[in-house]
């Protein structure tokens, strides 16, 4: 566990040193919030739209996405370490391989707090409704932080498999697609055709519902457990992928 914390600490220290790699995960969700909340403000006039203000609908989605992009930066760090040869030194050291994965996941959870804090500030400036009171932020943080760890495990799996920064589009596209093929823009009952089917079975839909809870109404256990279950499922799946990629690396 000490090694995992040391690796996570190194990843956090790299933020100011390699700011250009982290800044997009802060800028992107702010831009998306402004663009979606501004351009699509009339969506709340659609029948049965669950939010009264567009920012209430979009800010949980962009916060979750910001968390995910912060998670992807840990995978990018692994790929960069491979290219510079630093990761090979990790592999030669007596650090347990599980600590390498756990350290990255821990770093992602800590890194996600930065975009989450920023987006809460944006939510306040944009006068979002915190209908769940002080509890509004609890499911939001759980969703964004959990999804950040999912994204970091996924991006680490890709980095361990391809061992190059050039695999970055594969890391980010998967996150982008998983979010936009859910209820990112519209609630499920206002989606139709193939996207309704995809969004219905996409676990990110449940995670976004968890994040949105406090902005759309009261925070309840009934409204929380499907999202927590979806997160657990995705965490297990991506952990398996990262572990398999690490095992593949050991056989190299």
Partner 1 sequence: MKHYGALAARAIRNIIRQPTAIIPALLFPLMFQTMTAAAMGNSTRLRGFPAVDSFVQFSFATTIIQGAIFGSTAAGSALAADIEGGFFERLLSSPVRRTAIIVGQVSGAALLGFFMTWFFYGVTAMFGLEAESGLQGVLAVSLVIALLAAGMGGVMCSFALWTGSREAVEGSFPMFFVLIFMSSAFFPRNLMEGWFKSVTSINPISHLIEGVRAQIIGPFDAGAMTRALAVAAAAFVLGVGLSLLALRKRLAG
- Per CB under 8 A, residues contacting partner 1 are 24, 27, 31-32, 34-35, 37-43, 45-46, 169, 177, 180-181, 184-186, 190-195
CA 204 – CA 154 distance, rounded (Å): 14
Q: What angle do CA 89, 94, 98 make, to 5 degrees?
A: 95
- Cβ of residue 195: shortest distance to partner 1, in angstroms? 4
Residue 93 or 192 having the CB closest to partner 1: 192
Distances (CA, A) of 97 to 82, 92, 109: 15, 10, 19
**Distances in whole angstroms, Cα of residue 12 to Cα of each of 108, 114, 157:** 9, 11, 20
- Euclidean distance between CA atoms 48 and 175, whole angstroms: 28
Cα(53)–Cα(127) distance, integer angstroms: 9
Q: Is 55 or 246 the residue whose CB approaches partner 1 more closely?
A: 55
Q: How far is the CB of 4 from partner 1 (least distance, A)?
A: 32
**Minimal distance, residue 182 CB to partner 1, in Å:** 9
Token readout for 235 is 């965490």
89 near 121, Cβ under 8 Å?
Answer: no
Report the nearest approach of partner 1 to the CB of residue 18 (Å).
14
Residue 191 CB, nearest approach to partner 1 (Å): 6
Q: Is 82 exposed, middle or buried (0-12, 13-18, 19+ CB in 10 A)?
A: buried
Nearer to partner 1, 19 or 240 (CB): 19
Instruction: Tell me how far, at minimum, the Cβ of 249 lies from partner 1, in Å.
Output: 27
Nearer to partner 1, 63 or 178 (CB): 178
Cβ–Cβ < 8 Å for 93, 103: no
Q: Which is nearer to partner 1, 149 or 184 (CB)?
A: 184
By beta-carbon proximity to partner 1, the closer residue of 40 and 235 is 40
- Measured CA to CA, the distance from residue 246 to residue 251 in angstroms comes to 9
d(CA 201, CA 210): 15
Please, which residue, 13 or 189, has the CB nearer to partner 1?
A: 189
Closest separation between CB of residue 196 and partner 1, Å?
Answer: 9
Question: Are 12 and 107 in contact, with CB atoms under 8 Å apart?
Answer: yes
């Amino acid at each position: 566990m000490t090694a995992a914390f040391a690796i996570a600490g190194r990843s956090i220290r790299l933020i100011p040193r390699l700011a250009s790699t982290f800044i997009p995960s802060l800028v992107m969700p702010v831009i998306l919030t402004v663009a979606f909340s501004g351009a699509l403000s009339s969506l709340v006039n659609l029948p049965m739209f669950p939010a009264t203000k567009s920012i209430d609908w979009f800010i949980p989605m962009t916060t979750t996405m910001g968390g995910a992009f912060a998670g992807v930066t840990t995978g990018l760090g692994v790929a960069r370490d491979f290219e510079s040869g630093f990761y090979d030194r990790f592999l030669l050291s007596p650090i347990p391989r599980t600590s390498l994965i756990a350290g990255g996941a821990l770093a992602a959870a800590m890194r996600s707090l930065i975009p989450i804090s920023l987006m809460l500030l944006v939510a306040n400036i944009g006068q979002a409704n915190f209908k769940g009171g002080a509890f509004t932020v609890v499911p939001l943080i759980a969703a964004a932080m959990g999804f950040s760890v999912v994204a970091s495990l996924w991006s680490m799996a890709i980095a361990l498999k391809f061992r190059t920064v050039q695999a970055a589009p594969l890391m980010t596209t998967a996150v982008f697609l998983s979010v936009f093929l859910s209820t990112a823009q519209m609630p499920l009952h206002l989606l139709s055709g193939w996207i309704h089917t995809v969004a219905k079975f996409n676990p990110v839909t449940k995670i976004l519902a968890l994040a949105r809870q406090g902005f759309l109404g009261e925070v309840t256990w009934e409204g929380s457990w499907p999202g927590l279950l979806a997160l657990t499922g995705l965490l297990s799946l991506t952990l398996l992928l990262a572990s398999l990629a690490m095992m593949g690396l050991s056989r190299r």
